[in-house]
Amino acid sequence: MRTALVAVPVVFWALLFAYPMAAIVSRALAPGGSVDLGPVLAVLRAPSTAAVFWFSLWQALASTALTLALGLPAAYVFARHDFHGRGLLEAVLTAAFVMPTVVVALAFRTVLGPLGLGTGIYAILAAHCFFNYVVVVRTVGAVWANLDPRTAEAARTLGATRLQAFRTVTLPLLAPAIASAAVIVFLFTFTSFGVVFLLGGPSHATVEVEIWRRWTEDLDAAAAVGLALCQMAAIAAVVAVSLRLGRRRTARGVSMGAREPSARRGRSVAVWANVAVCVLLVCVPLAALAVRAFTAGGRPSLSNWAGLGANPQRSVLAVAPVESVVNSIVLAVAATAVAVAVGGCAAVVVSRRRRGGSGRAARALDVALLLPLAASAVTVALGFLVAFSRPPFVLHTSPVLIPLAHALVAIPFVVRLTAPKLEAIDSRLHDAASTLGASPGRVWREIDLPIVWRALLVAAGFAFCISLGEFGATLFLARPDMPTVPVAIARLLSRPGSASVGQAAALAVVLAAVTAAVVLVLERIRPNRVGEL
């Protein structure tokens, strides 16, 4: 049984990640069967490549800085204050984190359009903050909530001002969490696809968007593969530097501390100022999108919804838009089943090996399963097209690749949500059950499953939301006659006319409503802890 538990995630990862990534490397470095660096060097020397990488870099740095500026005050508020509506606000932030990129992009196009900022760098930065705000709040807030407040109070007693105490005592203790959040935000924004694809316009493109353009519009496979290889190298360098810096940091002075009540007026102002930022950043764009879905020609109307069931001649969609909802749900269910099955096996392996003392093996499996997130969904999809368009696996036109790609991205979340619960189970319970003659399967059913079932449900819900809204890989892999909702929205937006935009808004509202409903259910199931994502 243990062999099977190890084999399932290892084989899945090797076949659906290692093999496609090796195919990209082989295609880039040895296109004719022998090593030839010419195509990669040509891509690197092209002026357009430098421009794309420069835009990817500086917009990611700007997005990270802006997200930290907005998120750190909110992290303090959530860590140190209790206030009315706190639980609902946390649920809203969690929903924002898993909200489909096409929904967010269309929401910001809608709310910023009247200001002349519906597309461009300002819309991109705002959308990136929308997604990553909760990363900073929860990553930093989890540490801030557990800092011993007596440390800063001691500095104040010795004559330090509040700002000096924060700068010399609190900030160094928070530095590892801030750095971790910054790296996550940077990687998410550096590899941004859906937001830049829909909001950037022709003059703004990240490496991800350029890969898609080279592959689909220019039909330049060599350039697309070369760009993917360069991006993988850049991401590997960022991860290596962050890990090296992380090993040098230690978090001392951290202990469990209670949240401070917001008694003073100044503190109340801080609380409600951050609530206002959250509402403006998250709620207002989604509300504007909902209004757009129910209006036509500036008046309330249901015509956008009626149009979802029709597929007029010369439409950019091969099917009626409403059929994309069915496609998305079917594919999301399949992806969720695969992610929970494979991720569940991996979580068991990781938790048991850690308890058994084999930390290196557990860390290796953990890191391996996280690599698809670092590589990005677009690179994974490109690897699928390169690897599975030739024997022995000719699957590049098969819809089965879509849920497999979604599952590959969702598995790390399944492992992260379930492994800690499994690790917390007292090993003496397993020993006692085995001594009494219980089989491994019975031990799982009667000991592990009753403890971990909530975590599994939460993991399944997150996997479902991730698959439902995934856009980058799906745009590569989806067939014209089987679009998902994100792909259908993007195709509708590519067609001129306010009617198409209205139908796209209606589809986006459906997608956002399903995602929000799932997240709200998950928030009721899981323990309400600041540090969980």
As a whole number of angstroms, the distance between CA 489 and CA 503 comes to 8
Supply the pLDDT for residue 444: 66
Residues 6+ apart with CB under 8 A from 68: 136, 178, 181, 182, 185
Query: Are residue 300 and residue 323 in the same domain, yes or no?
Result: no
Instruction: Supply φ then ψ for residue 46, to 5 degrees.
Output: -65, 135
Supply the pLDDT for residue 263: 43
145-156 pLDDT tens trace:
888 777 777 877
Residue whose pair of structure tokens reads 């105490």 in the numeric block: 165
pLDDT bucket at 289, cuts 50 / 70 / 90: very high
Report if residue 395 sits inside a domain.
yes
Residues 6+ apart with CB under 8 A from 241: none
Question: Which has the minimum average pLDDT: 55-59, 95-99, 392-396?
Answer: 392-396
| Residues comprising the chain, all counted | 533
Report if residue 401 sits inside a domain.
yes
Query: Are residue 392 and residue 451 in the same domain, yes or no?
Result: yes
The sign of the CA dihedral 9, 10, 15, 21 is: positive
Mean pLDDT on 470-495: 87
Query: Are residue 283 and residue 329 in the same domain, yes or no?
Result: no
Which of 306, 336, 370 is the endpoint of a domain?
306
pLDDT surpasses 50 at 42: yes
As a whole number of angstroms, the distance between CA 278 and CA 214 comes to 37
Query: Are residue 293 and residue 385 in the same domain, yes or no?
Result: no
Residues 6+ apart with CB under 8 A from 189: 59, 60, 63, 64, 128, 132
Query: Are residue 328 and residue 242 in the same domain, yes or no?
Result: no
Q: What 8-state DSSP symbol labels residue 425?
A: S
Mean pLDDT on 48-71: 92
Residues 6+ apart with CB under 8 A from 345: 4, 5, 6, 8, 9
pLDDT surpasses 70 at 284: yes
Query: Are residue 400 and residue 472 in the same domain, yes or no?
Result: yes
Mean pLDDT on 238-259: 56
390-431 pLDDT tens trace:
877 877 778 899 999 999 999 988 988 888 787 777 667 766
Question: Which has the minimum average pLDDT: 185-189, 240-244, 520-524?
Answer: 240-244
Tokens representing 438 are: 């219980």
Supply the pLDDT for residue 321: 82
Query: Are residue 420 and residue 297 in the same domain, yes or no?
Result: no
Supply the pLDDT for residue 259: 46
Report if residue 134 sits inside a domain.
yes
Query: Are residue 19 and residue 136 in the same domain, yes or no?
Result: no
Report if residue 285 sits inside a domain.
yes
Question: Which has the minimum average pLDDT: 134-138, 257-261, 429-433, 435-439?
Answer: 257-261
Bridge partner residues of 389 (DSSP): 394
Mean pLDDT on 84-92: 81
CATH code of the domain covering residue 194: 1.10.3720.10
In SS3 terms, 436-486 reads as CCCCHHHHHHHHHHHHHHHHHHHHHHHHHHHHHHCCHHHHHHCCCCCCCHH
Range of the domain at 129: 37-252+261-306
pLDDT surpasses 90 at 498: no
Query: Are residue 371 and residue 290 in the same domain, yes or no?
Result: no
Query: Are residue 299 and residue 207 in the same domain, yes or no?
Result: yes
Q: Which residue has the higher pLDDT, 255 or 163?
A: 163
Report if residue 194 sits inside a domain.
yes
Report if residue 88 sits inside a domain.
yes
The answer to whether residues 146 and 156 touch, using CB atoms and an 8 Å cutoff, is no
pLDDT surpasses 60 at 307: yes
316-370 pLDDT tens trace:
556 778 888 999 999 999 999 999 999 988 888 887 654 554 556 667 777 788 8
Supply the pLDDT for residue 252: 46
Tell me the percentage of the chain whose pLDDT exceeds 70: 86
Query: Are residue 91 and residue 232 in the same domain, yes or no?
Result: yes
Instruction: Supply φ then ψ for residue 101, to 5 degrees.
Output: -65, -35
Tell me the percentage of the chain whose pLDDT exceeds 90: 25
In angstroms, how far apart are the furthest CA atoms of the chain?
77
Query: Are residue 71 and residue 3 in the same domain, yes or no?
Result: no
Number of domains in the chain: 2
Report if residue 519 sits inside a domain.
no
Report if residue 502 sits inside a domain.
no
